[in-house]
Amino acid sequence: MRALIQRVVRAQVAVDGEIIGSIGTGMVILLGVAEDDSEADAVWLAEKCANLRIFDNNEGKFHYSLLDIEGEALIISQFTLMGNSRKGRRPSFTQAAKPDKADLLYQFFIRHMKNLNIHSEIGRFAAHMLVSIDNDGPVTLIIDSEESR
């Protein structure tokens, strides 16, 4: 499972012109699910996101986590994070989980974030979405659950 995390001051997601989720200070989590991912990967990644110290203290140093600042998360499913573009000019998505499995693990990840008391807004799985992000910093990180294995 792979997450591209962006620290934001605000973000929103729209489908067919309708805003379906929006947050203030916190993080946008673009989430890709691989075929070999499990609930254990989702738990590890959710806890990593919630506890990652990427929010500044008074000295401008990364010191606080999403939990510490009581920030929000906008969680967007994004299978293209599992793309492989090493060969040719068109990315391959063979490592991405099939939609049924990906949706189950995406929903499991969301539930775990909410269980950690992170206010979480979400996109719509498999929909064409327009995501607006006001990246703060900018701060952008990629975290892969393979790091936990």
Q: For 32-44, how does the pLDDT look when each residue is reduced to its tens digit (9 = 90+)?
A: 999 999 999 999 9
Can you read off the two tokens belonging to residue 112? Answer: 């775990």
Residues 52 and 3: their CA atoms lie apart, in Å, by: 12
- Phi first, then psi: give them for residue 25, nearest 5 degrees: -60, 130
Can you read off the two tokens belonging to residue 31? Answer: 């989430």
Direct distance between the N- and C-terminal alpha carbons of the chain, in angstroms, rounded to an integer: 12
Domain interval for residue 54: 2-142
pLDDT at 147: 78
Specify the pTM. Answer: 0.96
148 occurs within a structural domain: no
How many domains does one find in the chain? 1
Q: Which three-class secondary structure state does DSSP give residue 115?
A: helix
46 occurs within a structural domain: yes
**Catalytic residue annotation:** 80
pLDDT at 19: 98
Q: Which segments in the chain show pLDDT lower than 70?
A: 149
- 134: domain CATH number? 3.50.80.10
90 occurs within a structural domain: yes
114 occurs within a structural domain: yes
50 occurs within a structural domain: yes
pLDDT at 146: 83
Residues 149 and 138: their CA atoms lie apart, in Å, by: 29
pLDDT at 144: 95
